[in-house]
Structure 1
Amino acid sequence: MEGRGIGNPVFEPPSPDAGRQREATSPKVDSGIPTQSGEGPCGWGCFAPRALQVCNNAEGFLAMYSLLAIFQGMVVNGLINISISTIEKRYELNSSLTGLISASYDISFCILALFVSFFGERGHKPRWLAFSAFMLGLGSLIFSLPHFSSGKYHFGTKLEDTCQIPGTRSVNFTCSASGVSSLSNYLYVFILGQLMLGVGGTPLYTLGTTFIDDSVAKHKSSLYIGIGYAMSLLGPAVGYVLGGQLLNIYIDIEIPESTKMDPDDPRWLGAWWIGFLVCFVATWPLIIPFSCFPKYLPGTAKIQSEKISETHDDGSELLVETQNIGKSFKDFPMALLNPVLMSLIVASTSEALVATGFATFLPKLIENQFGKTSSFSATLAGLVLIPAAALGQVVSGILVSKCKMDCKSIIKFMIGTCSVALLLNTVFLFAKCGNEPFAGVSETYNGTGMLHNLTAPCNANCGCSRSIYYPVCGRDEVQYFSPCFAGCASLVINKMKKMYHNCSCIGKPERQAGLEDLFYEAVSGKCPTQCKLLPLFLTFFFFTVVFTFMAVTPTTVAILRCVPDKQRSFALGVQLVFLRLLGTIPGPILFGVAIDSSCTLWDINDCNTKGACWVYDNERMAYLLMGISKWLLHIKYMYSVIDILTWTAT
């Protein structure tokens, strides 16, 4: 094809030779895998111990692939997500900067996916995955380095949370003009670590998937890929559990003797960095098994020769065979001419946008809608999202494999699962909670003060700071921003629980003889919610996630079937780029904007800088999230229907 551009089959006149060549073309897949080259024993050159040959098959490779996918998901989608809040406080970063840290992985992935998928398709895929293990380990190590170079964590005095006599509250804050701290320079180290993790994750989900598809029979491909993807979802679950436990360990391991602190103290920071070191130590040993696999597993050529091509009949299959297309990077745009491929990509992108949005903000949704603690909400979200997503992928993989679905049947299956997910998405209409009473936000202070103003006559002389959010529940079943804003002047600690007295903003309780522990006027923590719909919400949401993720594995299999064999890795690369650019990068941003728009009380510090949101309008949040997810699922449904209408098999 020297000196020639890529001919567009739409504008080329039909050739009788081309017609005869098409008739003579075998329906078998020409994989480009030489029968005698590439297949070999498991080992390193001449050193190929017989014991290693037990693993020289698709099952052995899948086991190593699954381990690497677990550690990748554990770091990228587990440990980093749960550590972001601690990193913000320790290194004095705002949320926009930590958002840049989170996005760095997908940015790196987008830049490299096409190059890796193209050059890796013709290379030694297992060795590319050895490189993937090296970079994932290196990225984990780099991400933990700021802890060792930033010195010991220093903290200030314990915050006063009660109403103080005028003139006795000390003010020790200084508002900097630049607002920049030397600790914030570690931002670039975190970004570098994420970029390295992105480099490592790219071969895993492009070349690893196509290597599995190469090595197994067509009807088993969806099962093997589904198992691999399910293992990648197990990683975040492990990351959330491990990270949650590590945050209960003090950041420098030993708590200073000069003070007594526990995880409830506002100054407490957990040992976020340990999990990254664990992943570094666990990932690098996987370099060894991946480097010993041959370029092709034994029997790959025979398996490929028996596969029937289901490439969409847009002329690209003929061009690939007759003009040697797929050997040069400039030939990549041909894949974009495949309407079935692009419709599948758009459908999966809209699905990814919904999935990443809820994966990021489901803990916040549970915490605010149902009045649960942040740690409990995060644990509950992990227990719902991870098993449901894994179950959906495994079940769909088994169904596609057992029913031996062709590409058209797979797309019909996707339409069915999307329809069920759309129906279940209506859970937000009947499993939502109203707004709990909050003084100064949703109601006044016993008839005094104004709405949306925390300061009232009963606490005007307390010198309260809005930068100290420490909610308390009054005996009147109204929540207050802090003991200070409730006008509480004193406290006692009873059974490790703070109880506040002399609260000027709370009506006096009726004393009952013999019930001394009921004399308090406010107790630390949010008021117990009156909404009992959490079990119903979780049940419906669980099955919504199951049916949503039942389309993930079939989509991957359909993409592998609807393009010429030599373009499979590139097709997956294009899909992953679109998933990042239009799905996983904007997904959390879109959901975050929707959630922020339902905020009714923002954190304003002593320098009048707006931070996080403390109180949300629950009904507005529920309707916005349901509207966004329904809109995106309708897009997925529409493009899946377009796939059926435009599909023709060779």
Structure 2
Amino acid sequence: MNGSTQPDMDGPSDGGSATTRQRTKDEMCCCCICFHPRCLQPLASLTLFIINVCLLLCFSAAALAVFEGLVTTIETRYQLSAAEIGLSASMFTAGTAVSTVIVTHFGGRPTSRRPIWIGLGGLCLALGAALHALPQFVLSPYQPPSSVFLGSSSDTNSSEFISGLCNSDAGIGTGDDSSCEAEDREILRDNNVAYIIIVIGQIVLGVGYGPLVPLTLAYVDDNATRGTTGLASGILESMFGLGAIIGFQIASAVVGLWVDFYRVDAATVSGLTPHDHGWVGAWWLGMLIEAVIFFVLALPMFGFPMRIPGARKDKDAKRVEEIDLGGNDGDEIVKTSALKDLKEWPRSVWRLLKNLVFLLACLSFVTEGALVYSLAAFFPKYMQVQFGLDVFSANLIAGFAFVPPWAIGALIGGIIVKKLGPHIQGSAAMGLVSGVLACSFTVVLIFIGCDNPPIAGVTVGYHGYDLDPNLSLESACNTDCLCPVDTAYAPQCGSDGVTYFSPCHAGCTQIPGNKTYTGCSCLMPDDPATTPSDVMVTPTPSALTFGLCPYTCTNVVAFIVLMVLWAITLSSATSPRIIIIVSSVHPSDKSLALGISRVLMLLIGSLPFPFLYGACIDSACLVWQTLCGERGSCSIYDIVQFRRTIYALTAALIAVQCLAFAAIWLIARMRAKQNTQGKNANGEMAGTEAAGKDGAKMSPPNGSQNEGYANEEGTFM
């Protein structure tokens, strides 16, 4: 196309073939294939490239936050346990690890067009987000269990509504497998299919996310002046915090819509409102919005050239000329370099494996990955279960009480490290102090929360009697009601201040109005239940009404303050950890060391621990929802055990991190003493020569000569 490219991209007029000139156009002009219109060439800008990638990263974090913020909704919709949710979150890490290794290898080659690989990653993100929403459109609409149907005052005689009441003459079965209806079996099958699709969606999301950061930094380094790569890295990292905040707010917005709002009326189907316990919001809408955004942001990446015209480093200009005009010489150079790197790679890995300080630093990386990915996955759920908050409030707190403090702590840690200097011993000491403080806050958090609210047959006995040690929802007052064992949790608040599992379990036989029940044989006389000192119960007057008995936990503010301090102190160890790694390995192994530490963090920390945290949460479940005899989501938790289990595991992980930093500090201190003693024994002159020799070997940071560092073999001195 005549005049379709910039003049300086055409190559020399008297040298080079037409093929060479066309290859130069494809590599350095905006757009793709043979289409290079002049009007689009100003868009071949490194600034626009970074902005586009930043948006991709921002909404990648937002997609994760949307999923995490709606965990309880997804559990209720598809009857999933916390362990299953944790496993799906782990699959995102698995996809990230695989794509990071494979895509960065092929996309990281000097002759590779990195923006195209990043664009493919964006399309994978779009596909993964769309897969999350797919079950909503290919499976049957959500059918709320009959026990949570409210209807309206005009339809209180419907069979669905009456089925939630005590009816001793109905002959209701016990809910075993033999009584499982075909409709219930279909729902169970749909739930299993939906979970498989969601897991696949998480894997695809991880595959798309994996290459974004490494390939972006490589592309920036190829095309920017010295120092720009570090700035770009900081900008990219900041997108995660911003994206998480956006994602939690998206989750809060979409949950206000009924899950099937576009095809049914929530008021007609269930009579529920967003503030009711059985409400299931349109969680899929957030992922669908993310899919559209990812698709739009991915398309421009295919138009960016291999190299930005006029923005690449001077030292790369000669390299471009050699490859473009030198026939196969450039390819031979690349092949020779790659072969040399391949032969050197096992030796580099072996050097790192012999480096005890590096391995200890990796251990601290693993614990950080386990904590961040696991707690982030269940933090909004914890707020809802522990303090009785709705989804909107929980996501609002999660967005501002966890993410910004983490970013602030990382910034504080970087400033302190810069002031103190890049010393291994000093960095280890700072990491140890931050870990001890974070562990202390974690121990305090074990005791900051609420006790279990009074729920008849679960946390308190019926009629004020002692709780049955076998934890049975049945009592003399509701035995004749023959309540099905698979009755969904539909909490009802009695005038006695006690919450009942369902109208049937409260022995209610009449419905005088919407959300009101009478004739309840299990309600205590007008004698309010006693509750713990930190729970203030407001008895509901007259009749049994739908919903949990209102209670306010006075420890919410204290919890938020402690979580902010916890996030700041724990994240302040991020910079010291990186300083330890780069200062303890051979200079040629720094990039490999950082890469290995990240892979270990993903595979050992981020991959298994979300599932482990989910299993710990499930261990605190008191009552499970069942369908056709199979266990679904948890209906009622022991919130005291929930809190203690989660933070005990968290404290244990932080303690391991503290031990790793303490060991690094001791090793660095011992090596520093040995170096000092060696200098004193050999005399001032010998010491000076030895210092000069070691400095030539390693070029350690200023002020670090006396504390030890990696020698040429990679072992810590």
The answer to whether TM tops 0.5 is: yes
User: Is contact 2:75-2:633 (8 Å) kept?
Assistant: no
1-structure distance, mates of 2:472, 2:78: 31
1-structure distance, mates of 2:260, 2:554: 40
User: Is contact 1:108-1:199 (8 Å) kept?
Assistant: yes
Structure 1 position 383, deviation (Å): 3.0
Structure 1 position 100, deviation (Å): 4.3
Note the alpha carbon deviations across 1:447-477, whole angstroms, 9 max, x for none.
4575222211122222223422112232222
1:471 corresponds, among 464, 485, 491, to 491
| More off after superposition, 169-178 vs 275-284 | 169-178
What's 2:709 paired with?
Answer: 648
Return the letter of the residue paired with 1:457: A
2-structure distance, mates of 1:638, 1:592: 25
Return the letter of the residue paired with 1:589: F
What's 2:193 paired with?
Answer: 185
User: Is contact 1:433-1:533 (8 Å) kept?
Assistant: yes
1:383 corresponds, among 400, 421, 445, to 400
1:574 corresponds, among 596, 600, 614, to 596
In percent, how many aligned pairs have the same letter? 25
What's 1:333 paired with?
Answer: 349
Note the alpha carbon deviations across 1:160-184, whole angstroms, 9 max, x for none.
4754231237669516898862663
Note the alpha carbon deviations across 1:213-256, whole angstroms, 9 max, x for none.
78889988766534422311322332232133223323444343
Q: Which structure is larger by alpha-carbon Rg, 1 or 2?
A: 2
Q: TM-score, normalised by structure 1?
A: 0.76
What's 2:550 paired with?
Answer: 528
Change (3 A) 1:280 1:231: same
2-structure distance, mates of 1:51, 1:203: 26
Return the letter of the residue paired with 1:630: A
SS of 1:488 mapped into structure 2: coil
User: Is contact 2:477-2:522 (8 Å) kept?
Assistant: yes
1:229 aligns with 2:224: no
Change (3 A) 1:325 1:438: same
1:426 aligns with 2:470: no
User: Aligned pair count?
Assistant: 586
2-structure distance, mates of 1:48, 1:558: 49
What's 2:370 paired with?
Answer: 353
1:197 aligns with 2:205: yes
1-structure distance, mates of 2:379, 2:84: 21
Unaligned runs of 5+ in 2: 1-23, 150-159, 317-335, 528-538, 669-707, 712-717
Structure 1 position 353, deviation (Å): 1.3
User: Is contact 1:229-1:393 (8 Å) kept?
Assistant: no
Change (3 A) 1:107 1:42: same
| More off after superposition, 213-222 vs 579-588 | 213-222
User: Is contact 1:207-1:569 (8 Å) kept?
Assistant: no
2-structure distance, mates of 1:410, 1:301: 36
Change (3 A) 1:61 1:396: farther
Return the letter of the residue paired with 1:508: P
User: Is contact 1:363-1:374 (8 Å) kept?
Assistant: yes
1-structure distance, mates of 2:427, 2:300: 34
What's 1:279 paired with?
Answer: 290
1:174 aligns with 2:180: yes
Return the letter of the residue paired with 1:250: W
Structure 1 position 544, deviation (Å): 0.4
1:66 corresponds, among 54, 67, 80, to 54
1-structure distance, mates of 2:571, 2:656: 16
2-structure distance, mates of 1:84, 1:368: 12
Output aligned runs, 1:84-99, within 5 Å: 99=86
Structure 1 position 298, deviation (Å): 4.0
SS of 2:517 mapped into structure 1: strand
Change (3 A) 1:120 1:568: farther
Note the alpha carbon deviations across 1:299-344, whole angstroms, 9 max, x for none.
65779xxxxxxxxxxxxxxxx99x9445676566344444443322
1-structure distance, mates of 2:246, 2:605: 24
User: Is contact 1:143-1:193 (8 Å) kept?
Assistant: yes
| More off after superposition, 538-547 vs 439-448 | 439-448
2-structure distance, mates of 1:328, 1:487: 75
Structure 1 position 538, deviation (Å): 0.8
Structure 1 position 194, deviation (Å): 2.5
Note the alpha carbon deviations across 1:254-298, whole angstroms, 9 max, x for none.
343674644457886543333333223222343455452655894
User: Is contact 1:114-1:570 (8 Å) kept?
Assistant: no
| More off after superposition, 87-96 vs 612-621 | 87-96
2-structure distance, mates of 1:253, 1:442: 35
User: Is contact 2:83-2:611 (8 Å) kept?
Assistant: no
Structure 1 position 618, deviation (Å): 3.7
Return the letter of the residue paired with 2:401: V
1-structure distance, mates of 2:496, 2:570: 43
2-structure distance, mates of 1:622, 1:487: 32
2-structure distance, mates of 1:263, 1:230: 37
What's 1:373 paired with?
Answer: 390
1-structure distance, mates of 2:505, 2:213: 52
2-structure distance, mates of 1:73, 1:504: 51
Q: Which has the higher helix share?
A: 2
1:552 corresponds, among 571, 574, 578, to 574
Structure 1 position 635, deviation (Å): 1.4
What's 1:414 paired with?
Answer: 431
1-structure distance, mates of 2:454, 2:281: 32
Note the alpha carbon deviations across 1:113-169, whole angstroms, 9 max, x for none.
333444444444444323322321232233333333336556776454754231237
Output aligned runs, 1:130-149, within 5 Å: 130-149=119-138
Change (3 A) 1:354 1:226: same
User: Is contact 2:220-2:228 (8 Å) kept?
Assistant: no
SS of 1:613 mapped into structure 2: strand
